[in-house]
Amino acid sequence: MRLEDLTPGTTVRGIRPDGAVTVVSVEWHGSHALTLTYRDPAGKVSEQILYRHDEPRLEVVDQGRPWSFDGDGATFRLAAEAHRIRLAHLFDPLLAVHTSLVDPLPHQITAVYEVMLPRQPLRFLLADDPGAGKTIMAGLLIKELMARGDLKRCLIICPGNLVEQWQDELSRRFHLPFEILTNDKLEAARTGNWFLEHDLVIARLDKLARDESVQQKLTAPDNRYDLVVCDEAHKLSATYFGGEIKYTKRYRLGQLVSSITRHFLLMTATPHNGKEEDFQLFLALLDGDRFEGRFRD
């Protein structure tokens, strides 16, 4: 643009680095310089001398009409659709069911939507028979929390022989792209901590329980999870023996992950081994304030 284009009422970009300004008045000094009086977005009036060599950095802003309908219709529809989807759970109480390839049974609907979702935060033991569909319930919970904006980072811990099954089920039924933790991925991490680079992770139970270097990365200050799910959680065992508590590495892992997550879900078909004191230790993983310490009848 040229300096001659600076007329009162014009909106110009390039005068201030923080945005456009409105021209109030112009006073020429010959034909190659002028004093510009302008008003910034905050309403403050200032002056600045401009020369011909300043012209390349100046740009007249076309304000347009405040309520015009000349915008891109496709972009508007995309934004409106995104906003509609973000609020979908307010109008569809079973959003995860209707957007997943599952046909849940009544007990699964009850467990997820009537029992688990209302709990904030969720510290829950899901104990059901083998084959009752605990994986489907976990998938529904994860997807529903995502739809409600309550979950971004999730860690699933399960025995080594189940990691591929978990990944396949969550991908095929719920379209959730979980990554499986492996030694190669740990070594190839760009930041040095693979956990920080991935939000949806599946890890082998014994890999986490036995490898202290992995535990150090898992407990990095910036590594926190919205939900941790432990499958076959009865393996996170501790026992009373001779009046003392015998902790296992798996139990210590349970304590560790319980401290780095907001929601914590334990899943098992055999939560109770017949010893009430051991069951109390197991529940202490969910709520240490209520169950930690010496066994209480």
Distance CA 4, CA 26 (A): 10
Q: Does residue 210 carry a pLDDT above 90?
A: yes
Pair 230, 236: CB distance under 8 Å = yes
Model pTM?
0.69
Dump pLDDT digits (tens) for 237-276. 888 877 788 889 999 999 999 999 999 999 999 888 888 8
**Mean of per-residue pLDDT scores for the chain:** 89
Q: Does residue 64 carry a pLDDT above 60?
A: no
Distance CA 119, CA 126 (A): 13
Distance CA 130, CA 232 (A): 10
pLDDT of res. 256: 95
CA distances to 12, 42, 161, 226 from 9, rounded to whole Å, are: 9, 16, 71, 51
Tokens matching residue 129? 């028979």
Pair 234, 227: CB distance under 8 Å = no
pLDDT of res. 132: 81
Dump pLDDT digits (tens) for 151-178. 999 999 999 999 999 999 999 999 999 9
The residue with greater pLDDT, 182 or 237, is 182
Distance CA 101, CA 174 (A): 6
| All structural domains of the chain | 3-60 (2.30.30), 82-291 (3.40.50.10810)
pLDDT of res. 90: 74
User: Of 12-21, 74-83, 182-191, where does mean pLDDT reach its minimum?
Assistant: 12-21
Place 66 in a pLDDT band, splitting at 50, 70 and 90.
Answer: low
pLDDT of res. 24: 93
